[in-house]
Amino acid sequence: MKPFARFMVKSAYVLNGSHRYKKVKTFFYNLMENNSYRYKKYFDVVMVMLILSSVIILIREVKYESHDFLQFFNDYIISIVFLVEYLLRMWVYNDNSKIIIERYEHDEFLQREFSPLKAFKEILHVKFQYMSSPSAIIDLFAIMPFFHELRLLRLFILFRVFKLFRYTNSIRHLLSVLTHKKHELLTLLMFAAIVVFVSGVLIYVMEANHPNSQITTLFEAFYWSLVTISTVGFGDLVPKTEGGQVVAMFIIISGIAVLSFSTSIIVSAFTERMDDIVENKLIENISALRKFYLICGYTKTAQQVAAKLRRHGKNIVVLDNNVDRVKLATSHHIRAVVGDPGALASYAKLGIDFKKQVHAVLCLEYDDVSNVYAALTIRSMNKEVMLLSLLINQSNRKKLSLAGVNEVVYSQELVGMVAKEFSGMPVAFEAIHALRSEQSDVLTEEIVIDEYIGAQYRNVGDLCAERYRIILMGISPANGDAFLFNPKSHEPVGTGDILLVIGSNVLIKEFKRDLHVKKRRS
């Protein structure tokens, strides 16, 4: 292999294996292209401000002498920023090192010499695909004012306005809706063009030789025809002959038909794509959340869990492949998306960062197989996120554990424990029902002993929970010892322990607040 070819292949392998290079490239790609990336909105705002600034400066120069700084800012600073953006977009559009490696491995497999020229041709072909796209052409025109010595090129500043399409989601949604009906709109546009052409020729034939006619050229005839079919009717050109007036009536009727059909096409396009637009907006809102609980399957149990979490001010996102249950979650003012919890594509669509955004994932389907698939899918993307799952069949407990579930909740086991403990005690059952009732003000709360509380309070007696008319059910020690029910006043408490208390919502809040003030005296 020739030295240059060897250097080219070696560089491609180095870049392809460089974590830092990939990290930098991913950052710029997310910043410019990934709508779910939280910092993209700031980049978009900056670019929109630069575009509007350049247009305002251009308008000001029409009647006022251009200030040296403003001209420098417009011709150099903004243009350089757009040039850097254009080059960065071209860079992240594809992976050149991957093309070189694929070409090299292909040539090696066929036992022939690696051709750098062919690799360059493939790279240039891919780059040209980007450069010939409408958005890239607009970006290129927006850089033209950089060559401000050519005064005419300064008019290309107006092309910067079209760059707003890149940075405004609403405009992009509008364009996607219109693109969905492009064939219908093109057909209607062709019909309107034919009507304008025929009526323009007819009105020219009818009016051109009339002594009092205002339409004397073919251009004026087409202008009048276009103004009339659009139902604008400026009145600056009016047909004088009877034939011209008949043509005017024909084109007015055609104009009404064109507007009616175009309106119906656009309305139907929005109706068909409204669900997609709403879902895209919802996904953008989810991407902006800092922390939330992800619930897979909006079952009856999930509804109760979600209600409890919402009362504590927690953000919730529901992922369910049942459309009716997603609608139910939405009616409960919960962010819900239609998707299969066991499919990677569902999480890719949401753009969730499990490490930074998700408190915990709750798999609450009444089907162990669905919960196992959901757990395996989530574990394939993140090994550390907290996973909790319902267990329906006791024989599947090991499968859920092997799937990476941290906590398994077996509902029948819990019901059996309660039934055994309170059999023959109807009042106790009423108390349990009141605790789980949505209308009840009585709550169970977990309070973590932080460093400050641990330094102020040494044992259960120091907490003085009875003064707040709340019940301390037990303590979960930080060292992993067994849960301690109904602790005595001499039992120690330390940093990291969790207190499980029951009481009125107001009293629990007051108790938690007072734990962080100086130690109370008995």
The one-letter code for the residue type at 10 is K
Instruction: Please tell me whether residue 44 adopts helix, strand or coil conformation.
Output: helix
The verdict on 161 and 238 lying in the same domain is: no
The verdict on 20 and 151 lying in the same domain is: yes
Contact 389, 409 (CB under 8 A): yes
Contact 371, 365 (CB under 8 A): yes
**Which tens digit of pLDDT belongs to each residue from 373-412?**
999 999 999 898 999 998 888 888 899 999 999 988 876 5
The pLDDT, as a whole number, for residue 374 is: 93
Residue the block writes with tokens 């207190």: 499
CATH number at residue 263: 1.10.287.70
Query: 10 Å Cβ neighbour count for 511?
Result: 23
SS (H, E, C) 296-315: ECCCHHHHHHHHHHHHCCCC
Question: Hey, what are 146's tokens?
Answer: 């950089």
Residue 451 is assigned to a structural domain of this protein? yes
The one-letter code for the residue type at 151 is R
Residue 395 is assigned to a structural domain of this protein? yes
The verdict on 85 and 190 lying in the same domain is: no
Separation of alpha carbons 492 and 495, rounded Å: 10
The pLDDT, as a whole number, for residue 171 is: 67
223-226, Cβ contacts within 8 angstroms, sequence gap of 24 or more: 224/200, 225/195, 225/196, 225/197, 225/199, 225/200, 225/251, 226/196, 226/200
The verdict on 139 and 223 lying in the same domain is: no
| Alpha carbon of residue 480 to chain centroid | 40
Residue the block writes with tokens 């600056």: 236
Separation of alpha carbons 127 and 199, rounded Å: 45
CATH number at residue 454: 3.30.70.1450
The verdict on 9 and 158 lying in the same domain is: yes
Instruction: Return per-residue pLDDT of the chain as tens, 522 residues.
Output: 678 888 888 888 888 888 999 999 999 998 888 876 778 888 888 888 888 888 788 778 777 776 778 878 877 888 888 889 889 999 998 888 889 988 888 888 777 888 888 888 999 999 999 888 878 887 887 777 655 544 444 555 566 666 666 666 666 667 777 777 888 888 888 988 988 898 889 888 888 888 888 888 889 889 988 888 887 777 778 888 888 888 888 888 888 888 888 888 888 887 777 777 777 778 878 877 888 999 999 998 899 889 888 888 889 999 999 999 999 999 998 999 999 999 988 888 888 888 888 989 999 998 999 999 999 999 999 898 999 998 888 888 899 999 999 988 876 554 454 454 444 555 555 555 555 555 556 677 888 888 878 888 888 888 888 888 888 888 888 877 778 888 888 888 888 888 888 888 788 888 888 887 755 444
Separation of alpha carbons 501 and 447, rounded Å: 8
The verdict on 155 and 7 lying in the same domain is: yes
**Final residue belonging to a domain, choices 136, 167, 198:** 167
* β-pairing verdict for 386-391 and 442-448: unpaired
Residue 174 is assigned to a structural domain of this protein? no
Residue 281 is assigned to a structural domain of this protein? no
**Which tens digit of pLDDT belongs to each residue from 211-232?**
888 888 889 889 988 888 887 7
Residue 422 is assigned to a structural domain of this protein? no
Query: 10 Å Cβ neighbour count for 501?
Result: 21
The verdict on 26 and 117 lying in the same domain is: yes
Separation of alpha carbons 316 and 292, rounded Å: 5
The verdict on 208 and 84 lying in the same domain is: no
Sheet holding 335-338, edge to edge: 335-338, 316-320, 292-296, 358-363, 386-391, 407-410
The verdict on 309 and 263 lying in the same domain is: no
Separation of alpha carbons 227 and 252, rounded Å: 10
**Final residue belonging to a domain, choices 358, 379, 414:** 414
Task: Provide the whole-model pTM.
Answer: 0.52
Residue 428 is assigned to a structural domain of this protein? no
Contact 411, 371 (CB under 8 A): no
The one-letter code for the residue type at 476 is S
Residue 212 is assigned to a structural domain of this protein? yes
The pLDDT, as a whole number, for residue 113 is: 83
The verdict on 334 and 476 lying in the same domain is: no
Separation of alpha carbons 510 and 21, rounded Å: 52
Question: Hey, what are 71's tokens?
Answer: 């001209």
348-355, Cβ contacts within 8 angstroms, sequence gap of 24 or more: 349/283, 350/36, 350/283, 350/286, 350/287, 350/317, 350/319, 351/34, 351/36, 351/37, 351/283, 351/286, 351/287, 352/286, 352/287, 352/294, 354/378, 354/381, 354/382, 354/384, 354/385, 355/382, 355/384, 355/385
Element of type H or E holding 140:
helix 134-143
The verdict on 24 and 125 lying in the same domain is: yes
The verdict on 405 and 452 lying in the same domain is: no
**Final residue belonging to a domain, choices 275, 310, 333:** 275
CATH number at residue 372: 3.40.50.720
Residue 431 is assigned to a structural domain of this protein? no
Listed in sequence order, the DSSP H helices in 437-504 are 451-456, 460-463
Range of the domain at 460: 441-515
496 to 447, 492, 515: CA distances (angstroms):
10, 12, 15
Number of domains in the chain: 4
181 to 28, 177, 271: CA distances (angstroms):
33, 7, 12
